[in-house]
Chain A
Amino acid sequence: MAKAKLTFDTEKCKGCELCVTFCPKKILVLDSETNAKGYYPVTVTDIDECIACGTCAIMCPDSIITVEKE
């Protein structure tokens, strides 16, 4: 059972990969499907590994990531 929850506002993601670069657990990747704007949005590979540190959300210029933890 995952202890953290990540919510992405996918339509506003520009696929800049700053969250991917700075995630200490390296569990973020770009999706293979584009959003309506044509960007590949971010998604999470293994939410069980997430420590809810919030680094991805802090570094996201477009504020599309919401981080929650139990």
Chain B
Amino acid sequence: MAVVYKKSPALTDAPLSFCPGCTHGIIHKLVAENLVELGVFDRAVGVAPVGCAALSDYFFACDMYVAAHGRAPAVATGQKRVHPDNFVFTYQGDGDLASIGTAEVVHAAHRGEKISTIFVNNAIYGMTGGQMAPTTLVGQKASTAPYGRSEEHCGKPIRIAEMIATIEGAKFVERVSTDTPANVRKAKKAIRRAFECQIQGKGYALVEVLSTCPTNWGYTPAGAMTWLQENMIPYYPLGNFKDFE
């Protein structure tokens, strides 16, 4: 029988630490599959963030760092400059990249570092217990915003992909989602293109992946997919913001 789908060899056998139905696992698979399909798995070095994905060094079978909170692009910069033959990616959540690590990612993009960033946006701090993140939607409830985020008090959520796309050094920026099988396939293609950006030496690439957090949002995994479609996609429009030749 022919294999239609099996677990990527770029993932270890360790059971994922994510909650049931968390789409971090789907995004892990897409990264792993692209590493193998592009033939860079053997020389890949990943940098994990602080947050739910801090344990992803147990799940990716390539070499991994776990950087200080928000500093993954800085660590990846060092790795890539010392070992330009390595394929270097960072995997960061919104509590990491969009808040404490915003300066690092902006300047890594500005310098045109030849690294790739997978930015997982689930509009909340997952690991620490559902606190409000810079990406939390106006009106969305969080443990530190029990009546929902107030625009007057906290402003509007930050759109990272649009912001990074304004920077010259960033050569590929796209926002994708994991809410349907079709969108997951599109997300895989976007990650592939971002990785090709680095392989061809074009410059910095970022893919923002809209993700669910069923536990902290308070929905079933399938219900969280619907909530993402109805609330996140209207504010965080999907699509490509920047592509290279």
Q: Give residues in A with beta carbon < 8 Å to B.
A: 4-5, 12, 14-18, 21-22, 39, 52-55, 57-70
- Which of B5, B18, B23, B220 contacts A17 (CB under 8 A)? B220
Contact, CB under 8 Å: B220 / A58 = no
A-B contact count (CB 8 A): 80
Contact, CB under 8 Å: B222 / A57 = no
User: Could you tell me the distance in whole angstroms from the C-beta of B169 to the nearest C-beta in chain A?
Assistant: 33
Q: Is B185's CB within 8 Å of the partner chain A?
A: yes
Contact, CB under 8 Å: B222 / A58 = no
Q: Give residues in B with beta carbon < 8 Å to A.
A: 1-8, 11, 15-16, 18-26, 28-29, 180-181, 184-185, 214, 220-222, 225
Which residue on chain B has the smallest CB distance to residue A57?
A: B5
For residue A17, which residues in chain B have a CB less than 8 angstroms away from its CB? 21, 220-222
User: Could you tell me the distance in whole angstroms from the C-beta of B13 to the nearest C-beta in chain A?
Assistant: 9
Q: How far is the CA of A14 from the CA of B7 in the complex (A)?
A: 16
18 contacts between A and B (CB under 8 A): A14-B19, A16-B21, A17-B21, A18-B21, A21-B225, A52-B4, A57-B6, A58-B185, A59-B26, A59-B184, A61-B26, A63-B7, A63-B25, A63-B29, A66-B6, A67-B5, A68-B2, A68-B4
For residue A57, which residues in chain B have a CB less than 8 angstroms away from its CB? 4-6
For residue A60, which residues in chain B have a CB less than 8 angstroms away from its CB? 25-26
Q: How far is the CA of A23 from the CA of B18 in the complex (A)?
A: 22
Contact, CB under 8 Å: B221 / A16 = yes
Q: How far is the CA of A59 from the CA of B22 in the complex (A)?
A: 11
Which residue on chain B has the smallest CB distance to residue A20?
A: B222
For residue B11, which residues in chain A have a CB less than 8 angstroms away from its CB? 63
Contact, CB under 8 Å: A61 / B3 = no
- Which of B2, B5, B19, B24 contacts A58 (CB under 8 A)? B5
| Other A-B pairs, 4, CB within 8 Å; known A18-B225, A53-B4, A57-B4 | A21-B221, A57-B5, A66-B7, A70-B2
For residue B2, which residues in chain A have a CB less than 8 angstroms away from its CB? 68-70
Q: How far is the CA of A68 from the CA of B2 in the complex (A)?
A: 5
Q: How far is the CA of A64 from the CA of B181 in the complex (A)?
A: 16
Q: How far is the CA of A52 from the CA of B24 in the complex (A)?
A: 24
- Which of A4, A58, A63 contacts B184 (CB under 8 A)? A58
Which residue on chain A has the smallest CB distance to residue B15?
A: A12
For residue A14, which residues in chain B have a CB less than 8 angstroms away from its CB? 19-21
Contact, CB under 8 Å: B1 / A5 = yes
Which residue on chain B has the smallest CB distance to residue A52?
A: B4
Q: How far is the CA of A15 from the CA of B181 in the complex (A)?
A: 18
User: Could you tell me the distance in whole angstroms from the C-beta of B96 to the nearest C-beta in chain A?
Assistant: 19
